[in-house]
């Protein structure tokens, strides 16, 4: 069930109250936003056109989009008529069924689905940094110097290469 909030009323002041209550109770928030966006876009087109005929057409289309039945209901009703057309015994009845499906769709024009960006998930809390005991001298008495750090890094590199060599030997065998 969609709800027209104060924020939506502020963003779409001319359109928020044009959606019937029974339609509001049958659509979700995404479809509501799609309808309001489409109506706003049609109103912008109406304001930009110099032709009064096009202006009226855009405004009427915006009203029909806002007052249309839910997408799912409209498509289900149209699909039922198309299924009847598929099973029709005469071409005239099939054409009548297809025309009825088209009439349902034109009476309830759906707003195009617009991609909505979801809120990014909250980042997990970052763990606090803890001191790495490997970077402290073994005795704990001598200070960490550049020479001690260089020696430690070289030892780690040699150890890593030995492990990599062992892995290579296992893979080759």
pLDDT tens figures, 39-88: 889 989 999 988 889 999 999 999 999 889 998 899 999 999 999 999 98
Q: What is the pLDDT of residue 11?
A: 82
Q: What is the pLDDT of residue 74?
A: 92
When computed from its CA atoms, the radius of gyration of the chain, rounded to whole angstroms, is: 33
Rounded CA separation 160/169 (Å): 14
For residue 143, pLDDT beyond 70: no
Q: What is the pLDDT of residue 78?
A: 94
User: For the chain, which residues make up each domain, given as ranges?
Assistant: 1-67, 71-113, 135-172
Q: What is the pLDDT of residue 22?
A: 84
Q: What is the pLDDT of residue 162?
A: 78
Q: What is the pLDDT of residue 142?
A: 64
Instruction: Please check whether residue 81 is in contact with residue 100, taking contact to mean a CB–CB distance below 8 angstroms.
Output: yes
pLDDT tens figures, 90-137: 999 999 999 999 999 999 988 888 887 665 555 566 666 555 555 555
Predicted model pTM: 0.59
Instruction: Please check whether residue 114 is in contact with residue 34, taking contact to mean a CB–CB distance below 8 angstroms.
Output: yes
Alpha helices by DSSP H, listed for 87-145, are 91-107
Rounded CA separation 10/93 (Å): 49
Burial class (CB in 10 A: 0-12, 13-18, 19+), 61: middle
For residue 170, pLDDT beyond 60: no
Please report where in the chains the tokens 């008495």 appear, as a residue: 141
């Amino acid at each position: 069930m969609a709800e027209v909030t104060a924020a939506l009323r502020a963003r779409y002041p001319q359109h928020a109250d044009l959606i019937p209550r029974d339609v509001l109770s049958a659509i979700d928030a995404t479809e509501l936003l799609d309808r309001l966006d489409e109506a706003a876009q049609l109103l912008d087109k109406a304001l930009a056109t110099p032709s009064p005929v096009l202006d009226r057409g855009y405004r009427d289309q915006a009203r029909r989009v806002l007052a249309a039945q839910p997408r799912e209901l409209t498509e289900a009703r149209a699909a039922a008529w198309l299924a009847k057309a598929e099973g029709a015994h005469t071409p005239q009845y099939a054409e009548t069924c297809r025309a009825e499906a088209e009439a349902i769709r034109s009476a309830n024009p759906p707003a195009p689905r617009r991609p909505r960006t979801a809120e990014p998930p909250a980042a997990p809390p970052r763990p606090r940094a803890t001191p790495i005991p490997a970077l402290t001298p073994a005795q704990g008495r001598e200070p960490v110097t550049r020479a001690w750090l260089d020696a430690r890094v070289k030892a780690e590199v040699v150890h890593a290469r030995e492990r990599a060599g062992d892995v290579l030997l296992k893979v080759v065998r």
